[in-house]
Amino acid sequence: MDYKFSQESFEKTSTDIAFVVVFAREGDQRATPVLRKADGGEILDKALNSQLSRTLKDQEFKGKEGEILFVNTLGKIGPKNIAVIGLGLQK
């Protein structure tokens, strides 16, 4: 299996999976994490018509350290799947 780290636009990248990292929300561990522009999550979510953020909420994903959620993009963008990886509280 080959791995490639890239900052290419996801529209131009054909890959099996893209990774997005999120932090748990400070003060409210029950809240869904925010997809940030700096991490690429906000841009991916917009391209998927908010499918990513809706899935995080529906699956009660909290961004806890080590928590992972896989989301199929249904061919809407280059990557076939997105792995959202929780990093816990930002330090």
pLDDT tens digits for 34-76?
A: 888 887 889 889 999 999 999 999 999 999 999 999 999 999 9
Residue 21 burial by CB count (10 A; 0-12/13-18/19+): exposed, middle or buried? Answer: middle
**Kind plus residue range of the DSSP H or E element containing 44:** helix 41-47
Q: What's the mean per-residue pLDDT of the chain?
A: 86
The confidence score (pLDDT) of residue 12 equals 72
Starting at the earlier edge strand, list the strands of the sheet with 17-22: 17-22, 81-86, 68-72
pTM for the full model? 0.85
**Kind plus residue range of the DSSP H or E element containing 42:** helix 41-47
The confidence score (pLDDT) of residue 39 equals 77
Helix, strand, or coil here: 20?
strand
The more confident residue out of 33 and 53 is 53
Beta-strand (E) ranges in 1-91?
A: 17-22, 68-72, 81-86
